[in-house]
Amino acid sequence: MIDINFVRDNPDLVAERSAQKGITVDINKLLEVDAKRRDLTAQSDAIRKQRNELAKAGAGKQPSEDQKTQGQKLKEDLSNLEDALKAVDKNYLELLKIVPNMPLDDVPVGSSEAENVVYKTVGELPKFDFKPLPHQVIGEKLDIIDKARAAKIAGSRFTYLKGDIVRLQFAIINFVINELTNKEIISKLIKENGLNIPDHPFVPVLPPALLKTAPYVASARLNAEEMTYKVEQDDLWLNASAEHTLCTMLMDEVLPYDQLPLRFVGYSTSFRREAGSYGRDVEGIIRMHQFDKLEMEVFSTKEGGLDEHKLLVAIQEHLVSSLGLPYQVINKCTFDIGKPNARGVDINTWFPSQDTYRETHTADYITDYQSRDLKIRTKNIEGKLELVHTNDATALALGRILAAIIENNQDNEGHFKIPEVLVPLMNGQTKI
């Protein structure tokens, strides 16, 4: 959640930038409740001080009737104030959590995805002397994608992946892990992009696929109505992305300042309801209820937060380029970056059958919006506690990147080439 001090100092700016994200907030009501909360807190503290002074004055003595009466009244007054404060505090947190993170100055102001800005296009589009097929048609003919059988036992938007595409998926996973744990590659990308951050490699993580309500809410990522599946009999939600159990992993911890940034790459099967999806989005394996994903998560100092965001985008470009896929880099507008984000970048990869670029990656810079509620802090060089900054970004969403590989590398016989960097991880196999 946002820093209430920033809201107090910049009420008009907060209202304006919230509206740019399509979120209406009642700043006046929030500040009114905040003032009442501070007043009740001050009154409670004053009574506690009186009780302590009364206790000190009567230490080792039999209390008089006046002292007993006074002590009882202070106890009752404090109890009443605490009850009132509890109700106000609940209202305060509800109002504060509506307020989104403030977009950075370079985020385009826009009211729809159409106002996102393409700032880089990389790679030559493949040329075919035949009409390119959708990946699902190729996958079905090769008997490596089987949605029909999955529909019988799980419903729509589930699939069986079989045979060589499974081997290809695990080759991609190994490729990503190898790249992100290689300090030389991280150092090279930092230098190429002029970033002023350490070259710590990523630590691979297999995170839980379930998490409790409290940390999920604190992460500002729980989207109960549109996205997230609830385990009905337990206080648990199915992970909608590996980032959700990565960003909460260090909740309530004070991280060693000299070890920052902490960089993790997590692999998880994820689950999304994807309410409202239709048309081409539900064909093939691009938008599934169940999918596998490699996600990057970084905990850093506030000084390094923006450079960490830029590094994650550079890593995404490195991975997509290494796979030989054409792509665009998108600076997302205020409406599209999401409630907890200060900045958001997408990478859209070319899909020949649709004659367009489709989103395959996103990178989110969240500043201290997440860590404030999760209480993830560090002690700076002056020994003062401060909130860390968090970043998350897609390394590779396996279904989408498999689909892109199939479509961009297909031939007129209904087969497709394996990207060169993956051939050694496929025991020399060059085609499926």
Q: How far apart are CA 388 and CA 279, in angstroms?
A: 41
Name beta bridge partners: 290: 271
pLDDT of 79 reads 84
Q: Which residues contact 262 (CB under 8 A, 6 or more apart)?
A: 200, 203, 250, 255, 298, 299, 300
Mean pLDDT for 394-400 is 96
Strands of the sheet containing 230-231, edge to edge, are 210-211, 236-238, 230-231
Do 64 and 189 lie in one domain? The reply is no
Residue 105 resides in a domain = no
72 touches 66 (CB < 8 A): no
Three-state SS at 264: strand
The CATH number assigned to the domain holding 132 equals 3.30.930.10
Do 266 and 330 lie in one domain? The reply is yes
The CATH number assigned to the domain holding 30 equals 1.10.287.40
Categorize the per-residue pLDDT at 223 as very low, low, confident or very high, splitting at 50, 70 and 90.
Answer: confident
Domain boundary among 98, 126, 142: 98
Q: How far apart are CA 244 and CA 222, in angstroms?
A: 9
The alpha carbon dihedral of 2, 8, 9, 11 has a sign of positive
- Of 167-176, 223-232, 408-417, the least confident: 223-232
Do 87 and 135 lie in one domain? The reply is no
In 10 A of CB 416, how many CB atoms? 22
pLDDT of 78 reads 80
In 10 A of CB 66, how many CB atoms? 8
Strands of the sheet containing 385-387, edge to edge, are 254-255, 377-379, 385-387
Q: How far apart are CA 302 and CA 50, in angstroms?
A: 40
DSSP H/E element including 369:
helix 369-374
Domain count, the chain: 2
Among 334, 359, 330, which residue's Cα sits nearest to residue 118? Answer: 330
Name beta bridge partners: 357: 350
Residue 193 resides in a domain = yes
pLDDT of 303 reads 95
Categorize the per-residue pLDDT at 63 as very low, low, confident or very high, splitting at 50, 70 and 90.
Answer: low
- Of 18-22, 35-39, 57-61, 395-399, the least confident: 57-61
Mean pLDDT for 399-412 is 97
Q: How far apart are CA 89 and CA 186, in angstroms?
A: 44
Q: Which domain holds residue 51?
A: 4-98
**If you average pLDDT over every residue of the chain, what do you get?**
92
Domain boundary among 98, 123, 154: 98
